[in-house]
Amino acid sequence: MLTLLVIHLVWALAAVPVVTRRQRLPSSAAAWLGLILLLPVAGTLLYILAGCRRGSCPDYVVPAEGDPVEQIVTRGCGTLTAARNRLQLLHNGNNAFTALIAALQRATRSIHMEYYIIRDDRIGRTIAEILIRKAHAGLEVRVIYDAVGSWRLSRSMLRRMHAAGVETAAYEPIRFPWFTGRVTHRNHRKIVVTDGRIAFLGGINIAKYYLDGDYMGKWRDEHLRLEGDAVADLQRLFIADWAHVRGEYLDPRRYIAPHAVRQRLPIQLAWSGEGSSRLTIAEAFATAIVRARERVRISSPYFLPPAMILDALRLAARGGVRVEVMIPTCSDSPFTDLISDSYVEDLLDAGVELYRYENGFLHAKVLLIDGELASVGTANMDYRSLTDNLEVTAFIRSRRVVGELWAAFDDDLSASSRVTRASWRPPAWRRVLGDALRIVSPLM
């Protein structure tokens, strides 16, 4: 017995330098070490499969300029604020798919798509047929899909696309029994670029429930259609991701097209991935929140914020900034909802206004600051999005666009109920279990 105890302690102590060297967030390191201490063999195996990150070369960094948020993004991703753009807000699946299908049908040279979820359903088959027709017509069509998120994408659909000349690539497929060491680190991006001129990004995947709803009701989301300078950055991001999944290096000069947009609408693209960009979105969000002067508004389908985000919200609210956080009444992950409930008292104690959206499932990922800055993209306010997944978001500096998003937020508030001390009375078992499971939230 004593021998087993000594082996147990030696095993756990040996994990300390390995985990703390690779997990730079204290909360994540503590969670992994606690799991390994509690379950040495199973915890170590899980860390190898899900927590161990591969080393990577640092991203190319250009000289930073602008305000602190701009500088963080520039240093992490190498992107500057693109000045001249045209932007269309797509507030739901019907608008997003109508605009996307029109752009795909008008493409004449290339189509590049990258999605977390592509379903073999009505909308998925509609888009696949367009891609097949375009490939037959001689266009270069490439599609990246996440192997886990798109597990329902059928082999028959893929075979038909391949036969037509559509090139596809799965991000980090899971092959039993040889697990990848990145099994839980997923490509959560949603990107489309056609002819190097028109781009889309946001929270909407390729699935019919964005049109029809599901057991949670209608899905409420935000998506963007872009033209102008910012499209080039999204095109470069897709090219980098294609090189990662296929080992094929495309020449950006072939796919970045000139444009005639003269409208001034500053947009800076930010993403998270390997290397120096891993925490860029999280750091940019936290910086934007603590620099707010009057108001912060957030909508997110999942709320398990890393410490830097939670601390930023507390500092802003206690410093006199009005902070409003909107989350769904329930999400498609009951386990996540349980942990998310454990953050309610933290927010209320800090003076944050918390609202629960009741008109379906709120899936929009939006951050609004002082009517001057907005972020719309794929990143949720949770550990997985902000510390592990591949994500992308657009920081928009336009009072007009922020005003439109502000009005949409107000509309969503009218369909929400505010959570107060008096109304927040979860069952004791749910409170205790949520608090206990919160310990493992950095691993989710």
Residue that is written with structure tokens 């927010």 in the block: 347
Per-residue exposure over 241-260, b if at least 16 CB sit within 10 Å of its own CB, e if not: bbebbeeeebeeeebbbebe
Question: Sign (positive/negative) of CA torsion 403, 405, 411, 414?
Answer: negative
CA distance 341 to 188: 24
CA distance 301 to 288: 20
CA distance 102 to 112: 15
Q: What does the block give as tokens for 13?
A: 């102590």
Residues annotated as catalytic are 188, 190, 195, 363, 365, 370
User: Phi/psi class of residue 351: alpha, beta or left (left: φ > 0; alpha: ψ in -120 to 50)?
Assistant: left
Neighbouring-strand partners of residue 151: none
CA distance 113 to 127: 11
Half-sphere exposure for 360 (CA within 13 Å, toward CB)? 16
